[in-house]
Each structure stands twice: as structure tokens, then as C-alpha cells.
Homo-oligomer: A and B are copies of this chain.
Amino acid sequence: MTKLKVVITRQLSADAQKLLDDVTDLHVVQWPSEKPCDRSWLLEHAKGASGILVMLTDKCDEEVIATAGPQLKVVASFSVGTDHVDRPALKSRNIRLGYTPTSLTDAVADLTVMLVLMAQRRGGEAMRAVIDGKWPQMPWHPFLLTGPQIRGCTVGFLGFGRIAQATLKRLVPFGIKRAIYLTSKPGKIVKEADGFGVPTESIGSIEELATDSDVVIVGCPLTEQTKYIVNAEFLARMKKTAVLINIARGPVVDTDALTSALDQGQIFGAGLDVIENEPNIQADHALLKQPRCVLLPHIGSAAIETREEMAIESVKNLLAGLNGEAMVNEYEL
């Protein structure tokens, strides 16, 4: 019997690789480098594949799918998002799509807490002062590099899914006073919201979220409705002592409005893991000139254990797709 061909666009972690290599009746074609797979390599090797395992950076479009041929049964994506995959093209051919949405909750929630503290306590500004050799010339005074304390804060969540809830659980022992959240169904109580150990309320309007929060955490999906939902008006309503955190998708926040709000001291600071037009952020980007803004290169899920789990889950989804079995997480096309 001919072995089924699978194409893997990356080197995988050791455990995930073993899981794949243990399946002896597969013909595995794998991109040999640590760097992203060349598109020409993918197109060359896709032909005849029954399964393809791709990363967020590999466009799995009509061309790739058509090149593979009619025997293609499954695309397994090592990612939460699936925008890089032509889902209608898969659906029309009855090709299954696997993805990895669940394993990164903890890693992203950890990073969210880190960004809250960095924004409040001026961590970026303080680090840069030391790196630039300014510490010896900073005369100590009681309010040097001080920022608001998290104890007693009202934390507002724009979107209240798994990651937001995991973040709230972590923030409770810091002594926060209250959590409020707004979802796509304003006022509807999220089932899982009970028992966080602080008063947690679903609120009815985005204005209330902006006005009442000392910390705003943006964790909603990017949709037509949420694009630029954090705009100049939202920022103008925020407290001068409040911070804005974005761990969702860049375009949920209007970057120009945020830059101007920071510039004018309308808000205290910002912590961002994502930004519009990433990764094309040059050193002269206006937001990088704001000392109270911490910008990270989208490393929310970049924890070793998480990425290992995502790799294993991708391989399991791939194998399940080949064998007609249930995936760990299958995308409903």
C-alpha cells in the first residue's frame, strides 16, 4: 500500500515530532529549517498530499489547496486564528480544518497581568531609563517613577471570554475592588463569571466601561463591530489615572487616537501585545516615542509549554483528519 503523504511546514518540538514519526505508514515531507517555509517549497511539495500542517505564517489558499489535489483530507493549523486558510475553499471540497484555540489561555492571561503591571508601574519607562544610563542622574524624590497601584482598582473587560476570565482570576489577590465586563450581548451575564472572589458585573454600555475602569483590558475578537471600538471618544472618557491593555487584535484600538491620548495625558499608560499593521512597526513609530506605552511583539502565547502543546495538538488534529476521527479542536467550516 502506498503511504499517505503529509506536508509539514515547520520543524516541530521533540514530543510533537515523535508523535508524528511514530506513525509508520506516513510519507512525511517536512520543511527542514527553523525559518518560515518558502511558499515555492510548499507549492512544490503539496502535490499529492493527504494532509498539510501549516503555521499562521503560511498562506493556505486556493492555489495550495488546488495544487495538493483531490486526495487532500485535512489541513491542521498550528494557530488560534484561521484567517490564513481559505476556509470556503476547504468547505467546498469537504476538507477538514484543525486548529489550536484552547491551549494558550494561561500563557496569554499571564502576559496580560504582566502588561497591566508594566503599564501602571511604568516598567517600560523605568527599564529604558536604566538602559540609557540615566539612573545615576535621577535624583530620588518620593514621587519619582510612581504609578497607580492595582489594589482597589476597578478592572473593565472589553470581551469576557476564556482569557479575560483567566486574567481576572489572577488579578483578585492583588486586591482589586471590582470587575466589570461588556460582551457582544451587553447586560447578558456570562455563565462562568460566578465566584471570582470580587464583585463582577456585566454592564450595559461601552461608555460606562470607559468611565468606570482603572484598568481596561481589551480581549474581544476583531470584527466589523469591534474595529476601532477603542477610539478617541472612548479614550477621552477614561480616567487620567487609568491604563489600557490590548491583548486581542491591533485594529480594535485606534492607534492614532491612543498616541494622542498618551501625548495629552488623557490616560496614564498603555500595555499592548498587538498593534495595527504589525509586524511592520519601525523604530520611528509614533507610539514608540510614548514613554508610558509598553509594546510587545505579539508574544501572548509564546510560552514554551504552550507552544509544545499547540504542536502536539496540531499533529493530533492532522492524524485525526487522515483517519476520520475526532480532532482535539476542529474548526466548523
Contact = CB atoms under 8 A, between A and B. Distances in A.
A323 to B, nearest CB: 24
A34 interface: yes
A271 to B, nearest CB: 10
Given A138-B297, A142-B311, A170-B174, A118 B129 contact: no
Interface in A39-72: 55-57
A138 B279 contact: yes
Given A140-B55, A281-B136, A297-B138, A304 B148 contact: yes
A131 interface: yes
Interface string A212-243: 00000000000000000000000000000000
Contacts of A113: 113, 117, 174
A139 B35 contact: yes
A86 to B, nearest CB: 20
Nearest to A175: B106
A195 interface: no
Given A110-B121, A118-B114, A297-B129, A34 B141 contact: yes
A146 B304 contact: yes
Nearest to A148: B304
Nearest to A144: B302
B138 A106 contact: no
A278 interface: yes
Which among A110, A142, A143, A280 has the highest number of chain B CB atoms within 10 Å?
A: A142
Interface of A: 10, 12-13, 34-36, 55-57, 78, 106-107, 110-111, 113-114, 117-118, 120-124, 126-133, 135-136, 138-152, 169-170, 172-175, 278-284, 288, 294-297, 299, 302-307, 310-311
List of 10 A-B pairs having minimum Cβ-Cβ separation, nearest first:
A133-B283, A114-B117, A149-B303, A149-B305, A135-B279, A146-B302, A146-B304, A169-B173, A170-B173, A135-B297
Given A113-B117, A146-B306, 14 more contacts: A55-B142, A57-B140, A113-B113, A114-B118, A114-B123, A117-B117, A121-B303, A123-B296, A124-B127, A133-B283, A140-B279, A147-B303, A151-B305, A169-B173
